[in-house]
């Protein structure tokens, strides 16, 4: 069905409080008719503890959507213990999670993302059936990785100054194309996708996907309808920058904006003025009832300390 979409969120211990808020925002704002399944992938060694926390604290926030939620440990996809879990494995799981997605398209989220206005069919689909998307530019620091992605799919090494798919969440992906891309990479690079991400040269997930779409269609326009941004996040550079934080929050005032996000680094920096702005947003859009409740989400340490055992 065109008008159904699964959600995929990759999480780890330090962002579980934000995942709670995301779940609440889905309950408040997501149209039940377009929401398919919700997939949570644990990118963390503490799979058992995190699963218990999600079941006891996050599941209730989904409300009527609770039965649509599925939780996966990282080994459900890798079938082996990864040497390091972190940013690169997070990118990997955003792609290989397509294996469990049941809808033709899926929305990739980070825990920091939450919804602040109603999400309906027209939020994601243009009238001609294409997926709506914001556009971005090729970031200089990831240009080398983008060039590598292009080489994987037989594209030349020229980079035009053009608009491409965004490199941040929320991100809409076509499920079959992600799965086809993985199969092609593994076949032609003679390397499992897990090793390609975790051991190979750096190539980011969204640039990799965009390069594949370019190889198939010559650009994104065949599948995506470019439009103005509908989601804004306070990212790490805004953690102590009042002007940047204010500008970001001002951007969400437009009625077309459905998403807001707060990077963990912003909360950890604990700038009182910026956290006050965040709390005001959460209260305004009904994600929390009061400033005091917002404060409870600024304490990101929600699991008991790791237990260490020494044997002599």
Q: Which two tokens stand for residue 139?
A: 């970031």
216: Cα within 13 Å, side-chain hemisphere: 17
Average pLDDT over residues 263-273: 96
Separation of alpha carbons 36 and 16, rounded Å? 22
In angstroms, the first-to-last Cα distance of the chain is 60
* 10-64 confidence digits (pLDDT tens): 999 999 999 999 999 999 999 999 999 999 999 999 999 999 999 999 999 999 9
3-state helix, strand, coil in the chain (%, to 5): 45, 15, 35
Token pair recorded at residue 47 = 């799979």
In this structure, what are the phi and psi dihedrals at residue 304, rounded to the nearest 5 degrees?
-65, 155
| C-beta neighbour count of 121 within 10 angstroms | 13
pLDDT (0 to 100) of residue 285: 98
For 198, the token pair is: 């975790």
Contact yes or no for 165/135 (Cβ under 8 A): yes
Q: How many CB atoms lie within 10 A of CB 257?
A: 16
- State the average pLDDT for the chain: 93
- Which of 306, 277, 278, 305 has its CA nearest to residue 21? 278
Query: Given the structure tokens 């965040």, which residue do they identify?
Result: 278
Is 5-227 a domain of CATH 3.90.550?
Answer: yes
- Give ranges for CATH 3.90.550 in the chain: 5-227
Res 283 pLDDT > 90: yes
pTM beyond 0.85, yes or no: yes
Q: How many percent of the chain have pLDDT more than 70?
A: 96
Q: What is the pLDDT of residues 229-257, one digit of tens each?
A: 999 999 999 999 999 999 999 999 999 99
pLDDT in tens, 106-152: 999 999 999 999 999 999 999 999 999 999 888 888 889 999 999 99
Sheet with 113-115, strands from edge to edge, namely 113-115, 259-262, 231-234
Q: What is the pLDDT of residue 81?
A: 84
Q: Which tokens belong to 32?
A: 């039940």
Report the candidate in 41, 40, 35 with the shortest Cα–Cα distance to residue 65.
35
Structure tokens at 299: 């304490």
Q: What is the DSSP string of 64-107?
A: GGGGGEEEEETHHHHSS--S--SHHHHHHHHHHGGGT--SSEEE
Band of residue 308 on the pLDDT scale cut at 50, 70, 90: very low
pLDDT of 70 reads 98
Angstrom distance (rounded) from CA 130 to CA 222: 8
Given pLDDT bands bounded at 50, 70 and 90, which one contains residue 154?
very high
């Amino acid at each position: 069905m065109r008008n159904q979409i699964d959600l995929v969120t990759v999480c780890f211990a330090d962002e579980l409080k934000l995942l709670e808020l995301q779940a609440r925002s889905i309950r408040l704002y997501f149209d039940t008719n377009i929401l398919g399944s919700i997939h949570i992938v644990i990118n963390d060694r503490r799979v058992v503890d995190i699963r218990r926390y999600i079941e006891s604290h996050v599941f209730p926030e989904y409300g009527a959507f609770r039965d649509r939620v599925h939780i996966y440990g990282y080994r459900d996809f890798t079938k082996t213990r990864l040497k390091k879990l972190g940013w690169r494995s997070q990118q990997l799981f955003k792609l290989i999670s397509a294996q469990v997605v049941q809808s033709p398209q899926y929305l990739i989220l980070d825990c920091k993302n939450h919804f602040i206005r109603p999400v309906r069919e027209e939020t994601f689909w243009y009238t001609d059936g294409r997926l709506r998307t914001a556009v971005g530019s090729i970031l200089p620091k990831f240009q080398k990785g983008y060039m590598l992605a292009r080489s994987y799919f037989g594209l030349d090494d020229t980079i035009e100054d053009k608009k491409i798919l965004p490199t941040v969440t929320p991100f809409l992906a076509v499920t079959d194309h992600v799965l086809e891309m993985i199969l092609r990479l593994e076949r032609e690079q003679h390397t499992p996708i897990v090793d390609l991400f975790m051991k190979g040269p750096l190539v980011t997930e969204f640039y990799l996907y965009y390069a594949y779409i370019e190889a198939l269609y010559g650009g994104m326009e065949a599948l995506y309808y470019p439009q103005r941004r509908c989601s804004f996040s306070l990212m790490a550079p805004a953690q102590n920058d009042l002007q940047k934080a204010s500008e970001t929050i001002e951007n969400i005032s437009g009625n077309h904006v459905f998403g807001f996000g707060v990077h963990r680094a912003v909360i950890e920096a604990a700038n009182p003025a910026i956290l006050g702005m965040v709390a005001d947003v959460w209260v305004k859009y009904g994600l929390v009832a009061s400033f005091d409740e917002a404060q409870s989400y600024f304490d990101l340490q929600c699991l008991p300390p790791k237990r260490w055992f020494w044997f002599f």
